[in-house]
Chains A and B, each alone.
Chain A
Amino acid sequence: MLLECMMNGHAILYTGVTLAFWSTILIVGICYTIFDLGFRFDVAWFLTETSPFMWACLGIGLAISLSVVGAAWGIYITGSSIIGGGVKAPRIKTKNLVSIIFCEAVAIYGIIMAIVISNMAERFTGTTPETIGAKNYQAGYSMFGAGLTVGFSNLFCGICVGIVGSGAALADAQNASLFVKILIVEIFGSAIGLFGVIVAILQTSKVKMGD
């Protein structure tokens, strides 16, 4: 019976990896606790010893890549509907490109933010937490947070616009008067990507990296 439930090979693999990961964490944690070595689990050490550059660059990378994933996903969903619906109703082709443009806008937001954030990354001399200084740590973490913010916002915005656009294309193929109404839904969906951009700008407004 277990074999029937786990017929999917992917499920077995993911279950196995998750199990291995969590059991490692659990066993290591238990050993540290038993031997009174819990003091070696030092989050502050981790946050101060890892370089602010890593955090900044992760933020920049995630900003662009997650935005692009959102845009791509949305375009893929909308595009297949437009192409499919356009076989029987060729008139929908031109009008529904607007949905594609809304998805693409999300990717534009991502790349703009990535460029803005990467311009804030400056060189600093300092190897110990004291010499690096609080401002550099703040800069690193802010850039990471901003990148994450804009990335995830654009990811979900892109998917949302894509699904709505797909529905719009198919409705338009049925009945041309439906398109404009559905477009309003799409505009609301597109706004959330913009929110992400605004918040990210706010996060990085006080960033000053360097000596």
Chain B
Amino acid sequence: MAEPRSSSRRMLMAFFAFFFAFFYTGSSTAQVPVVLWSSEGLPALAPPAAGHIVSTDQLTAYLTSAFGSGPRTVLLFLQDKLSKDDFTVFGGVFGNKQDSAFQNLEAALQSSSSSVTLPAFEWSGSSAIPALLQEELGVSPLLVDPDTLSHLSINSSASNLLLFNLPYCTSVHKSCKEVLHDNDEVIGKVLTIMKAKKIPYTAVYTGSQPSRVISETSMSNQPAGRSLLQAVVPDVKAPIMFNGTGGPCIMLWAQNLSISLSSTAAWIDLAAETPTMTGSMCNSTNSLLVLNYASGYVLSFNMIQRFYSVSARNWFTLESVQLQSNGVTASFSGRRAIYAPAEYSYHCQTVSSIGDALLVQNSTNVNASQWRLNFVDFQIQGFSLANGTNFSYASDCAGFFTAGIWMGLLTSLLMLLIFVYGLHMIMQLNTMDRFDDPKGPSISVPQSE
């Protein structure tokens, strides 16, 4: 007896668990729960998978197998409306078992020898289940209520279908819970009467329509795939490379190589054109890159590499940048500011002869005195290109701290030091306690003059 009870208890738990789980699935298909239990045996039915809606055919097949053997008395408790949400709300499933409105139902399920719960049965009409049972048993339903049942004599050798109509919560005088509790009382009473009459029965508890229909929004409108949000990275143009003996010797890359022939003339971006490199050369100490443009300009970069004894390493400098146009040549010296260790490349965001000029014009040609250069995002390397077609580490013109930051840090840290020193001195001033005498009389300051 313990085993069937524990299995019934487990089925009861599964019953409520299924109802609870189904609360979240929601379906636009109308469905009602169907609970069957019997005082004699019911064939075993595998619990339906979560979300599975049992179709009419499946239930028909099952009932055929259940009712096939001999006459049966079926008690159909048909509630006006029933959904699995009613069990969730009123079934005391949140640890408050004493508040359950289905206590007799639970007791019946537990004590019956077999029971079947279908959390979702496809609802196709309010008289679907009675019609189905009528078809299975071959008798028409008899409308009964508990009072008439006690006086009714039931012939257990023939099939009987007794229909009990139970109301749902429509009355304004009673709360929903009370209505369901009353229905449960009816079920309990009926089962007691049947037990007293010692008639084997099969009971079905269901609703003639669902009480709640949760409509489901179709998810098919949204695209199911994922798309990357990252913007398309534009392709970077290749650097200008001059090949000496055995691989690239000089490399130059710039976003803009803008020149202007007077202070009012428009900027011409030479980086948009493709140059030829006739006249370029490179050896161990000198690198010269000459860019001949079709528009008539010639831009050349001269770099030299030397060993400096104080730092004991080789450094290269961009000695001069020369611009030639219509026979006039202007020379700009980058010697002071454009330098890097010879193993590395030099990079600077702005290399220009205007503003914060890294290139200083040192040609004496009067015609070219107003010429200006402005290279944006400029990177150059003239030596130690062992890395194939990649620049070496870029020694950037911008350091971590600028000169201004250093000046500010120096001054403010000095003042902070002075402040901390003074604060320390003040904080170690103590009240004099040499002449304190805790046992002596306390000082009295007379109020009168």
Contact = CB atoms under 8 A, between A and B. Distances in A.
A46 B406 CA distance: 8
B424 A10 contact: yes
Contact of B403 (A39, A49, A58, A130): A49
Contact of B406 (A10, A39, A50, A128): A50
B311 A39 contact: yes
Nearest to B310: A44
A51 interface: yes
Band of interface residues on B: 10 to 19
B407 A54 contact: yes
Interface string A17-51: 00000000000000000000001100000100111
Of A10, A39, A65, A129, most B-chain CB atoms within 10 Å = A39
Nearest to B418: A65
A36 to B, nearest CB: 8
Given A46-B406, A130-B336, A58 B414 contact: yes
B427 A10 contact: yes
A30 to B, nearest CB: 16
B373 to A, nearest CB: 17
A40 B411 contact: no
Interface in B177-199: none
Given A10-B424, A58-B411, A128-B336, A40 B399 contact: yes
Interface string B399-423: 1000100110011001000100000
Contacts of A10: 424, 427-428
A54 B399 CA distance: 20
B341 interface: yes
Contacts of A58: 411, 414
Nearest to A21: B413
B313 interface: yes
B411 A54 contact: yes
A50 B411 contact: no
A49 B410 CA distance: 14
Contacts of B428: 10
Contacts of B424: 10
Interface of A: 10, 39-40, 46, 49-51, 54, 58, 65, 128-130
26 contacts: A10-B424, A10-B427, A10-B428, A39-B311, A39-B313, A39-B341, A39-B395, A40-B395, A40-B399, A46-B403, A49-B403, A49-B406, A50-B403, A50-B406, A50-B407, A50-B410, A51-B407, A54-B410, A54-B411, A58-B411, A58-B414, A128-B336, A128-B357, A129-B336, A130-B336, A130-B360
Q: 5 closest Cβ contacts across the A-B interface? A: A49-B403, A54-B407, A50-B407, A39-B341, A50-B403
